Structure 1
Amino acid sequence: MTAELILRWLHVGGAAVLLGTGAGIAFFMVMAHRTKDARLIAHVSGTVVLADWVFTASAVVLQPVTGYFLARAVGWPLSEGWIVWSLVLYVMVGAFWLPVVWMQHRMRALAKAAVAAGEALPTAYFRLFRIWFACGFPAFAGVLAILWLMIARPVL
């Protein structure tokens, strides 16, 4: 097995983790939110926060590293148009993801506090959820666009 093949495998695997974890997190958060059950939301958002740190954060760190070494191994200049646009989109996705991580922590805390007080979810939770939900669309579209660029490698 060559270094290039290992790098390709790691890079594609990281992309799959980013896409899959993002889709899974979104699905489970939305399904929990729909119940409006603070106890369930507190539990699911706790799992989501953990998954984001274990899977998403590790893939976020590994993607540029494997991408850099893969480009060097294959001979693609980093100034290649599709690579530049992938990096621009990667930064954009990160600009949405970082606040989303904070929102998930905050929504979890608000849900736990509601459970502890025996109260309904506060207005702040619902406001954060709407923002969290809205941030998911450009972030997910960005990841899909990056995947397309990686596969098609168009001349830009």
Structure 2
Amino acid sequence: MGPSAVTYLLLKYLHVLGAIVILGTGTGTGIAFFMLMAHRSGSAAFIAETSAVVVLADKLFTATAVAVQPVTGYLLMRESGYAFTDGWIALSLGLYLVAGVFWLPVVWIQARMRDLARGAAADGAPLPAAYHRLFRIWFVFGFPGFGSVAAILWLMIAKPEI
């Protein structure tokens, strides 16, 4: 196996790993599951602790993967001879932007929900209406965010001629 093949496989590995991290944490099932379970508990203290971990996970894992994906994707595209104008790549990039449009506000929403839950827990008060409103927005934003990333994964695998 020559240097070019090793480079390609390393890039592909990093790119797939990034997709796994994004699907599992950022727009994906891991964070959504833990946030939803915490919310369903109704416990402000539990929600505060869970959302603090979620915000940290987004900073450490999701943000890193989100930053690395375009780099590895571009390098893979260059190594493979694809172009930005190839339909599946153009659509993937558009969907990546859609995912970002929904993910960026969610990062802020999660931090705000954490702060509201911390305040309610400290005061021994119920979760405020603002928390519930933000949770509904967070929940709805998850569908296009996750759906976009899931569609990108399919496009990466299938590489359909569009």
Task: Please tell me the TM-score bracket, short chain as reference.
Answer: over 0.9
The equivalent of 2:111 in structure 1 is 105
Q: Which runs of 5+ in 1 are unaligned?
A: none
Q: CA RMSD in A?
A: 0.7
Unpaired stretches in structure 2, ≥5 consecutive residues: none
Aligned-pair identity in percent equals 60
* Equivalent residues, number: 156
Q: Distance in 1 between matches of 2:159 and 2:150?
A: 14
Q: 1:121 aligns with which of 112, 127, 138?
A: 127
1:133 correspondence with 2:146: no
Matches within 5 A, 1:138-149: 138-149=144-155
**Residues 82-115 of structure 1: per-residue CA shift (max 9 Å, x gap):** 0000000000000000000000000000000111
TM-score, structure 1 as length reference: 0.98
- Structure 2 Cα separation of the partners of residues 99 and 25 of structure 1: 15
Show the counterpart of 1:6.
10
- Deviating 4+ runs (over 6 angstroms): none
Alpha-carbon distance in 2 for matches of 1:123, 1:133: 15
Task: Name the amino acid aligned to 1:24.
Answer: G
Please name the residue that 1:51 is paired with. 57
| Equivalent residue for 2:43, pick from 23, 37, 45 | 37
User: How many angstroms apart in 2 are the aligned matches of 1:90 and 1:17?
Assistant: 14
Q: Which residue does 1:74 correspond to in 2?
A: 80
Counterpart selection for 2:20 from 16, 41, 62: 16
Give how far 1:79 is off.
Answer: 1.1
Aligned residue type for 1:10:
L
In the TM superposition, residue 118 of structure 1 has moved relative to its aligned partner by 1.3
**Corresponding letter in the other structure for 1:81:** G
- TM-score by length of structure 2 reads 0.95
